[in-house]
Amino acid sequence: MDSNTGTSQTTIAAEVEITGTLKTSGSIQVNGKLNGDLQADGDVTIGKSATIKGNLNVNSVSVAGAVNGNIAAKDRIEMQTSARVNGDIRAKRLAVEDGVSFVGKSEVNPSGVAASAQSKIESKPEPKPLSQSEAKGEDTKSGLFAKR
């Protein structure tokens, strides 16, 4: 779409269905159907009409359609109102609009504190019995996600 303006972006039109792994070093907009994984070094836009059954490994992604698979973004995941995500997400930053349907595990912590390091921080002020229990809880937090 932007090919005329210089910044190249691949677009998968709504009527297109692809089976297999899609790799790109640039940005891509998906409006069609993808049965397979998507790997992009650039930014990915998943349009309202898009359906993806596979994992996404991208720099950043804006989801407005349906994704059935895990999303791993180096930078940012944005879920727009119409987004339907069934899978785990992992990113540095996250923005979710009201109306999103999402079932899965989220591992997004923009404050950058590693999950294990958090227990130290949270047990520091140690207010009353409540926070002590919290500190104990924090120790198991990595297990929380390991459980599943």
Partner 1 sequence: MPDYGKTKVVDGFTALRAIQQGKGSKRNESNERETREPETVKPEPAARPSGRGIGRTVMPTKFEIICYKCGFEYCVTGRADYTYCPKCRERLERTDHVITGALTQNLVTVGKVHLTETASIDSATVVAREFILEGTVKSGRVEVTGMLEIGPNASYTEKLITARDLRIPAASKVTLRSHASYRNVEVMGRLKAKLRATGVITVKPGALLKGDIRGAHLVVEEGGGVFADLVIEPDKAHEAENDKGVPAQKTA
Q: Which stretches of the chain bind partner 1, using CB under 8 A?
A: 93-111, 115, 118, 122, 125, 127-131, 133-134, 137-138, 141, 144-145, 148
Q: Which is nearer to partner 1, 17 or 107 (CB)?
A: 107
Which positions ≥6 away from 57 have C-beta within 8 Å? 37, 38, 39, 40, 72
CB of residue 130 to partner 1, shortest distance in Å: 5
- Give the type of residue at 36: G
* Half-sphere exposure of residue 21: CA atoms within 13 angstroms, side-chain side: 8
Q: Which is nearer to partner 1, 22 or 79 (CB)?
A: 79
Q: Which is nearer to partner 1, 74 or 93 (CB)?
A: 93
Which residues are 57's β-sheet partners? 39, 72
